[in-house]
Structure 1
Amino acid sequence: MLLLLWFLLISPHLVVSLNQEGLLLQQIKHSFDDPDGALSNWNNRDDNPCNWYGIKCDSVTGSVNSVDLSNTNIAGPFPTLLCNLQNVSFISLFNNSINSSLPEEISTCVNLQHLNLAQNLLVGPLPSSLSDIPNLRHLDFTGNNFSGDIPTSLGRFPKLEVLSLVGNLFNGTIPSFLGNISTLKQLNLSYNPFAPSQIPPDLGNLINLEVLWFTQCNLVGQIPDSLGMLQSLLDLDLAINSLHGPIPKSITNLSSVVQIELYNNSLSGGFPPGMSNLKALRRLDASMNDLNGTIPEELCGLSLESLNLYENRLEGPLPESIVKSPNLYELKLFQNQLTGELPKELGTNSPLKTIDVSQNQFSGNIPVNLCANGSLQELLLISNMFTGQIPESLGHCLSLTRVRMMGNRLSGEVPLAFWGLPHIYLLDLVGNLLSGEISTMIQGASNLSVLLLSKNQFTGNIPDEIGFVENLVEFSGCDNQLSGSLPASLMKLTGLTTLDLHNNVLSGELPSGFRLLKELNELNFANNELSGEIPAEIGSLPVLNYLDLSGNFFSGNIPLELQSLKLNRFNLSNNHLSGDLPPLYDKEIYRDSFLGNPGLCGDLPDLCPRGSSEAKNQGFVWLLRSIFVLAGLVFIIGVGWFYTKYRNFKKMNNGIDKSKWSLTSFHKLGFSEYEILDCLDEDNVIGSGASGKVYKAVLSNGEVVAVKKLWGGSKKEDSSGDIEKDQVSDNGFEAEVETLGKIRHKNIVKLWCCCTTRDCKLLVYEYMPNGSLGDLLHSSKAGLLEWLIRYKIAVDAAEGLSYLHHDCVPSIVHRDVKSNNILLDGEFGARVADFGVAKVVDMVGKGQKSMSVIAGSCGYIAPEYAYTLRVNEKSDIYSFGVVILELVTGRLPIDPEFGEKDLVKWVCTTLDQKGVDHVLDSKLDSCFKEEICKVLNIGLLCTSPLPINRPSMRRVVKMLQEVGLESKPRNEKKDGKLTPYYYEDASDQGSVA
């Protein structure tokens, strides 16, 4: 007995035996890749698996009834062995890397009630056997890559309550047989590239349905009346489709509905009568349609929380009953034709956070109680006819962050406290009749980034206290009556990009310290009474491209340092300047920049008046010069004739005839087309692509430009394919000229001009000494790109794309964002380039267009663009996310090492399996790891498979800048050199919304 007891004690595994279900789960564990060890406690030392991670058992029978391995980072095919667990009713593998296709054998999970495989990597068609699972109630396949048609068999589910197929690749039509699943409570099909489909009227049979989510499903036709039969419906979402026709009267029968989303369609007509029946309605968004008529009184009498009716054709007043909505926090009615006054009690009974009634015809005073509940954050009243004063009460609304009152008839003085609101970052009062002085209380506006006061009647000095507004990026106060000297404290605003105070009565000398304003892009003091000398330190501003000091009393010489600037706008006319012109500006193209300065002298005709004695001296000098010229005239003519004939012969052999070229310029040029043509030599080629070659051209004035040469073949002799190729080339040329010709931004490559003949086209750009980001990053010189430089490149490129998306009207989608189309100047400043496939996005047309072919580069193309050919800003954001991943990893977007994956999938997989250290570029200094990881997360957010999850480019810019701001104290100095800081740009001027 003692011997047997001793043997059992030293051999416990002979006593404890894992049951059959545990052994089965052990097999399943071995079929998974488990990099994080989530299944480490699944071992054979237990007699049953009930205490294993993710496993639950029935309290009576002890058998496994639940397997929940959500968010465990496991990978591998779906384990059909799970179906051998006879009593399992709950399986969730949510947010893992379950891959391959889903097998038909899943139907053997006969007791399964809940199956969640959302956010995985499953592909192929749905198994037709799914409906053979008799008790299945919850089926969620969101965020996979299932494709093809929804199988007919899915209409036979006997007990299914939730069917979610959101964010897959289904490309058939939306089937009517889904209306046969009478037990359904949720039907979610959003964000699939379905073929154009009408909403099946049969869905009206789903009398238990609570959620119908069909966002961006390529719906066409009208909303069927049968949807009014869904008496249990809580959420109706048909947004971002191509539905047309009226909102059906039957929709007012949805007495239980809480949320209705109809935005971004082409619905027309007015609201149907009977909206008061929607007693439970809390959110209504019917924006970006073609609705007309008035906003019904009965609609505003509901207990709404959010009302979005912007970008329609609604007219008439805003009903007084809106003030009876006790929970209203969001009211967006911009871009309609609404009239009358805003209800005086608006805001009294509701916790309003956002009000946007811009671009209507509202009149009267601004209601005084808008912030009565202390919650108001955004107040946008752009382009209406509001009169009277800004209410005193808004000066005490400490929650305000964004105020835009541009283009009204407001008058009187701005409340003193209003100037110093602590959280406001955008204050826009442009184009009113406001008067008084800028209050010294502005020093309290510590978060203010954009201050727009132009075209009012403000008077008095600009207060010294403005220097305390450290986050100020843009200050525009032109067309007022501001007086006195400029405060020296302005030079403390080191993040300032725009300083525009033209058309005032400012006087005195300019303060010293302009060299500190390293981010300054625009400086405009035109038409004031400023005097003294022009500070030479203005010439040290690295990104200044707009300088206008005309119409003042500046005197002295023009500083030679101004030659260092690269200016789109340069005007020093109508001052008291004297002396010689700087050599760079002593050219005819700059003549208008110096008119009205009697003391200026140069070789430009009529710029400097000359006396009679001077004229005689000039005549004598001319005579002497003539003698020397005549002495060598024969020799020069002979040599010149021979040289000209030789050059013409050479150029004609290269296919270039100068006499047939025409030039179109977009900026003031210091060169002609002939000088460009002379540089088109094979020795000057610096790049070559599918559309032609790129040359480096060094001009006679020392300036360097890049010339893209696009060739077209002879269409009359080519095949049809060649003609098509020519047509694409022509379209690319026209797109690039059309796009870049009108863009002015420091992070968009500058197009100087274009030269054309019948068979050849040239585009002349500013020259980027460091070439493209892609060439540099993926070469032996990648070591030059330390982290701070890469970060700066990311911010610069993001700002360029943000300008295209948000500040261009209409907005522009680049469609070929990649590292090779981001060019770097001598200081590694980034410019977005190559707009050959760019498209203008018509916002009235819902912000997207379908293209006949895919434009873009492999590895950068957003997944939804590849299968829908729909163009919108989200496609660019995905591509930019890939560029961020390139900067962080140092890897190409497509690499044989990745196998069938691209960079995005490789990063996600490697992060899951090996961790972040195996993703980051080993060339980067580890002291920046925290910042690099934050930028990596931004890149992953931009490359989200679902477009709706990707942030806007404006948001991307802000997130990147926040990384710089957070790291500012720690990274202030490195190797004795100051690192660049980046400000938070909250301007979003191009957007009403």
Structure 2
Amino acid sequence: MLLLIFISAFLSNPSLLSLSLSQEGLYLHTVKLSLDDPDSALRSWNDRDDTPCSWFGVSCDPTTNSVHSLDLSNTNIAGPFPSLLCRLQNLSTISLFNNSINMTLPSTISECSSLQHLDLSQNLLTGELPTSISDLPNLRYLDLTGNNFSGDIPASFALFRKLEVLSLVYNLLDGPMPAFLGNITTLKMLNLSYNPFAPSRIPPEFGNLTNLEVLWLTQCNLIGEIPPSLGRLKRLTDLDLALNNLYGPIPKSLTELSSVVQIELYNNSLTGELPSGFSNLTSLRLFDASMNGLNGVIPDELCRLPLESLNLYENKFEGTLPESIANSPGLYELRLFSNRLTGELPRNLGKNSPLRWIDVSDNQFSGELPGDLCEKGELEELLMINNNFSGEIPASLGGCESLTRVRLGYNRFSGEVPPRFWGLPHVYLFELVSNSFSGGISDDIATAKNLSIFIISKNNFSGTIPAEIGELENLVKLLATDNKLNGSLPENLANLRKLSSLDLQNNDLSGELPNGIKSWRNLNELNLANNEFSGEIPEEIGALPVLNYLDLSGNQFSGNIPNGLQNLNLNLLNLSNNRLSGELPPFLAKGNYGNSFLGNPDLCGHLERLCNNKDESKSEGYLWLLRSIFFLASIVFVVGVVWFYLRYRKFKMAKREMEKGKWTLMSFHKLDFSEYEILDCLDEDNIIGSGSSGKVYKVVLNNGEAVAVKKLFGGMKKEGGGGGGGDIEKGQVQDNGFEAEIETLGKIRHKNIVKLWCCCITRDYKLLIYEYMVNGSLGDLLHSSKKGLLDWPTRFKIALDAAEGLSYLHHDCVPPIVHRDIKSNNILLDGDFGARLADFGVAKVIDSTPMGPKSMSVIAGSCGYIAPEYAYTLRVNEKSDIYSFGVVILELITGRLPMDPEFGEKDLVKWVCFKLDQEGIEQVMDTKLESCFKEEICRVLNIGLLCTSPLPINRPSMRKVVKMLQEVGAADNQMKGGNNNNKDGKLTPYYYEEDASDQGSVAAAS
């Protein structure tokens, strides 16, 4: 009988053939079968081997052949954590870094009694941290970074006996910062960064961790002051408290951290002066306290340290930069922009150190640039915008071939630019705007092959534009306005196929425009105003597909206006004050371009009287005949309309009588109209919008009020979801959209969510009746000729209204509701431009489940608005709505669509980040917005970029977004009331944040 049982098991499980495989090998082979291994990383795990010691990722003790280490990092395996590993009694190391281990971490992990090193970082684990993990008696290293753990850190973590490394970075832990971690005195590294903890103070108990070498609490929602007890951490080498809400002074006790190598305190609200005692920090190499409210002077004792990186930008420091900073032998980064520093830069700056990045923009520095800035040949960024520097550019900088970004604008530089400085081979951004430079553009510019943005406006440059510029195939922007350039444009300028902006206004340029400019397929702006160009306007200009700004005024162009200009979608056209003649093309004769042709006396068209008033008498001969024909046609038309109306009314009455009794009415508010009033008005004349799911009508009721009626057709829709225009939800059953709409709007009430009056259902279609919004959708208004109605205060009000509506859905509805299709077309505007969220056809209620957010079977949303993680995980949560709302903010600020051919492969978010980095806020703001609101716009832009952070954990909640927007509004009102504390009364130019490419808040968000 036993033999039969054995044979049966033998035949049903061929793996039993491997009778020689050790017991530990059998455990591991079972683990292999429990995991998804798409890349066959475990193909060497052969059950016919004697031991698993030769298997990939497995290490054994050479004496006993017992498995003591398992490392399957970066193998793309998936599945739940294999608890069977705990059967390996001598297993001391498990590393499953960067895989797709999912579900929860089981409490049976405590059975891995020999475990010393556990690395499960960058996986998909969810749920709460298991309390039993602290039962592992020998555990020294625990890394759970980059998962989706939530809830509190268990109090049992205080019981770890030997733990040296605890890393919980990038999870969803939202309890308070636990003080009991101060009991794990064996800790050498504590990293809790990037978790949405409840607002908490830094526990003073952390000062008990006297063995601690690394303390990272970045972006942990910390508040309050830095506790002086941290000064007891004598072994600490790395302290990072950045991106929190800490306030108060920097405690003097931090200068007692004798072993510290780097201190990062940036992006808090710290105030006061830097404490004395920095001379104690002899090991300090990096000090970053940027983006705070610190003031006073930069201490000389800080600058005497062997610093490698000093970041104090966006504070209120005054006085001079100590000369001693030039003696730091390892200094490679110096960022001091947006302070109130004065005096000259140290003469030897760069002579003794490998300077790589220097940014002192937006201060009050003066004097000449030090000649040794690039002595070590490593300088990459030279950013000196908006100071009082004077003199010439040192000739030595012409040999600094490592430079990639040069921004010397808004200073008092003069003299000629060194010839070799024009031709720096790796520079992609070269900006000298608003100085007093003179001389010509050297033909050495031919070697600047990487040049992308070239801005030399508002100087005294003279001479011709060298032909070598036409060889710079990467050039995107060429801005040289307000100079004394002369001569004609080089013919090979037409070779610049990537050119998007060419602005040469207010110079002395002459001659005809070069041939071949049709190759400027990416040209968006062409401004040649106030020069002496002559000849005819090339017909090729009409073939430029994305040109929307054309200004050729104040020249000597002659001949006819090319008919091809009618093909362009221009926001601005100015051909005034030339010598143009002939007939005005019909499309250009519209009122939109009423002032575009002034000062061309020989130009004929509808906007002016015909040339020399000729043929007037001949015209009168036809006038009587035309009037007669028009009168007869009018009579025929009126009779036809009356006849058609009577027939149509009769048809409608018959249809109404036929359909009486077939309607089911479901109301959500008290109604003073009937469904028949709605039915009578559902004709083509009242359509105000349509999509793949149906049509929208405007219906004026008998009481004079108007409602909007969405008519949804029955059956299955294969083309897309509930709004048309970019929606990408495929195969959606229309009934689901209808049910989602009434389930959502029927039970919620908020001033910033569109009101659903009622719904009507019949066999063929369904009707949803909403309050009517006079100004339509934000998208339609913002991207039309009417966007001039949307000044900045109005746009800000719309953003705040929409944020409050979305915050209500996320935080005040139980359970929370995710809209899933936030976009400008789904934000409707009333007569006072108050905003309301609409179109809840794909909205979802978020169920609280232990497994976290549910996945959807399809992607809902609209191109350009979809959060990156939603597109590949299909997980529904509030963070995807917040990303979409951030795109709407960027839309309001830029006036651009989320997807635009001008962006190339980028979307609006990436385009904004790129523009900020390359050119600053001016090139991002909608030209319709007034510059006086620039500072407020900058703050709102920063909120938009935070909302569109690629990492969901970095996006603020909608409640936080509302608060930030309200603070912006309050700060703006205070500033208008005369309480601006800026010393010189100027707005801080926001585009300097983008120069802090590693530390600034914009860069961090993007």
TM over 0.5: yes
CA drift of 1:307 comes to 1.0
CA drift of 1:449 comes to 1.0
- Tell me what 1:416 maps to: 419
Verify: 1:273 aligned to 2:276, yes or no. yes
CA drift of 1:640 comes to 6.1
Verify: 1:19 aligned to 2:22, yes or no. yes
State the distance in 2 between where 1:762 and 1:720 align. 13
State the distance in 2 between where 1:279 and 1:117 align. 37
Verify: 1:457 aligned to 2:455, yes or no. no
CA drift of 1:34 comes to 2.6
State the distance in 2 between where 1:92 and 1:562 align. 64
Further displaced range: 726-735 or 38-47: 726-735
Give the AA of the match of 2:83.
Answer: T
Counterpart selection for 1:40 from 28, 39, 43 = 43
Further displaced range: 506-515 or 338-347: 506-515
Counterparts in 2 of 1:513-592, with a 5 A limit? 513-592=516-595
- Tell me what 1:893 maps to: none
Any conservation in 1 of the 2:413–2:437 contact (CA below 8 Å)? yes
Any conservation in 1 of the 2:140–2:163 contact (CA below 8 Å)? yes
**1:53–1:240 CA distance, 2 compared to 1 (3 A):** same
- Tell me what 1:402 maps to: 405
Counterparts in 2 of 1:748-787, with a 5 A limit? 757=831
Q: Secondary structure at the match of 1:726?
A: coil
For residues 131-188 of structure 1, the C-alpha deviation after alignment (integer angstroms, 9 at most, x for no partner) is: 1111111111111111111000000111110001111111111110000000000001
Counterpart selection for 1:72 from 72, 75, 78 = 75
Verify: 1:438 aligned to 2:444, yes or no. no
State the distance in 2 between where 1:574 and 1:35 align. 69
- Tell me what 1:979 maps to: none
Q: Secondary structure at the match of 1:610?
A: helix
Any conservation in 2 of the 1:848–1:870 contact (CA below 8 Å)? no
Counterpart selection for 2:619 from 604, 621, 626 = 621
Counterpart selection for 1:230 from 230, 233, 252 = 233
Unmatched 5+ residue regions in structure 2? Answer: 1-15, 653-682, 697-707, 712-723, 727-740, 757-770, 792-822, 838-860, 866-898, 927-933, 963-992
Q: Secondary structure at the match of 2:550?
A: strand
Q: Secondary structure at the match of 1:721?
A: coil
Counterpart selection for 2:336 from 333, 337, 342 = 333
TM-score by length of 1: 0.70
Give the AA of the match of 1:801.
Answer: V
Give the AA of the match of 2:247.
Answer: H
State the distance in 2 between where 1:115 and 1:130 align. 10
Further displaced range: 303-312 or 35-44: 35-44
State the distance in 1 between where 2:165 and 2:210 align. 14
For residues 531-556 of structure 1, the C-alpha deviation after alignment (integer angstroms, 9 at most, x for no partner) is: 11111111111111111110011111
- Tell me what 1:682 maps to: 687
For residues 372-405 of structure 1, the C-alpha deviation after alignment (integer angstroms, 9 at most, x for no partner) is: 0000011011111110001100101111111011
State the distance in 2 between where 1:207 and 1:762 align. 55
Q: Secondary structure at the match of 2:94?
A: strand
**1:209–1:871 CA distance, 2 compared to 1 (3 A):** same
Any conservation in 1 of the 2:864–2:907 contact (CA below 8 Å)? no
Any conservation in 2 of the 1:232–1:257 contact (CA below 8 Å)? yes
CA drift of 1:71 comes to 2.1
CA drift of 1:128 comes to 0.9
State the distance in 1 between where 2:904 and 2:28 align. 52
CA drift of 1:81 comes to 2.3
Any conservation in 2 of the 1:29–1:39 contact (CA below 8 Å)? yes
- Tell me what 2:612 maps to: 610
State the distance in 1 between where 2:207 and 2:942 align. 31
**1:286–1:732 CA distance, 2 compared to 1 (3 A):** farther
State the distance in 2 between where 1:454 and 1:27 align. 71
State the distance in 2 between where 1:550 and 1:811 align. 23
- Tell me what 1:358 maps to: 361
Q: Secondary structure at the match of 1:423?
A: coil
Q: Secondary structure at the match of 1:216?
A: coil
TM-score by length of 2: 0.69
**1:72–1:635 CA distance, 2 compared to 1 (3 A):** closer
**1:292–1:620 CA distance, 2 compared to 1 (3 A):** same
Counterpart selection for 1:726 from 754, 761, 765 = 754
State the distance in 2 between where 1:850 and 1:468 align. 36
Verify: 1:199 aligned to 2:202, yes or no. yes
State the distance in 1 between where 2:834 and 2:193 align. 47
State the distance in 1 between where 2:340 and 2:300 align. 17
Give the AA of the match of 2:30.
Answer: Q
For residues 656-676 of structure 1, the C-alpha deviation after alignment (integer angstroms, 9 at most, x for no partner) is: xxxxxxxxxxxxxxxxxxxxx
Verify: 1:257 aligned to 2:260, yes or no. yes
Q: Secondary structure at the match of 1:551?
A: coil
**1:533–1:170 CA distance, 2 compared to 1 (3 A):** same
**1:718–1:77 CA distance, 2 compared to 1 (3 A):** closer
Q: Secondary structure at the match of 1:685?
A: strand
- Tell me what 2:974 maps to: none
CA drift of 1:722 comes to 6.0
- Tell me what 1:321 maps to: 324
Q: Secondary structure at the match of 2:343?
A: strand
Any conservation in 1 of the 2:125–2:149 contact (CA below 8 Å)? yes
Unmatched 5+ residue regions in structure 1? Answer: 1-12, 654-677, 696-705, 764-770, 776-790, 815-830, 832-838, 873-952, 959-988
State the distance in 1 between where 2:628 and 2:835 align. 41
Counterparts in 2 of 1:832-843, with a 5 A limit? none
**1:628–1:445 CA distance, 2 compared to 1 (3 A):** closer
State the distance in 1 between where 2:201 and 2:328 align. 35
Q: Secondary structure at the match of 1:76?
A: strand
Count of residue correspondences: 768
CA drift of 1:313 comes to 1.6
Q: Secondary structure at the match of 2:482?
A: coil
State the distance in 2 between where 1:468 and 1:335 align. 37
Q: Secondary structure at the match of 1:403?
A: strand
For residues 75-124 of structure 1, the C-alpha deviation after alignment (integer angstroms, 9 at most, x for no partner) is: 22222222222222222222222222112221122222111111122111
CA drift of 1:410 comes to 0.5
Further displaced range: 52-61 or 839-848: 839-848
State the distance in 2 between where 1:991 and 1:120 align. 23
State the distance in 2 between where 1:124 and 1:991 align. 28
**1:231–1:416 CA distance, 2 compared to 1 (3 A):** same
Verify: 1:802 aligned to 2:830, yes or no. no
State the distance in 2 between where 1:319 and 1:415 align. 29
Any conservation in 2 of the 1:288–1:309 contact (CA below 8 Å)? yes
State the distance in 1 between where 2:774 and 2:240 align. 38
**1:186–1:738 CA distance, 2 compared to 1 (3 A):** farther
State the distance in 1 between where 2:82 and 2:266 align. 41
Q: Secondary structure at the match of 2:124?
A: coil
- Tell me what 2:430 maps to: 427
**1:608–1:683 CA distance, 2 compared to 1 (3 A):** closer
Any conservation in 1 of the 2:522–2:902 contact (CA below 8 Å)? no
**1:738–1:683 CA distance, 2 compared to 1 (3 A):** closer
Any conservation in 1 of the 2:243–2:266 contact (CA below 8 Å)? yes
Give the AA of the match of 2:170.
Answer: G
**1:707–1:586 CA distance, 2 compared to 1 (3 A):** farther
Give the AA of the match of 2:308.
Answer: E
CA drift of 1:340 comes to 0.9
Counterparts in 2 of 1:39-438, with a 5 A limit? 39-438=42-441
CA drift of 1:464 comes to 1.3
Give the AA of the match of 2:142.
Answer: L
CA drift of 1:482 comes to 0.3
**1:577–1:198 CA distance, 2 compared to 1 (3 A):** same
**1:750–1:619 CA distance, 2 compared to 1 (3 A):** farther
CA drift of 1:643 comes to 6.2
Give the AA of the match of 2:243.
Answer: I
For residues 801-838 of structure 1, the C-alpha deviation after alignment (integer angstroms, 9 at most, x for no partner) is: 33444547879999xxxxxxxxxxxxxxxx9xxxxxxx
State the distance in 2 between where 1:720 and 1:126 align. 35
Any conservation in 1 of the 2:695–2:710 contact (CA below 8 Å)? no
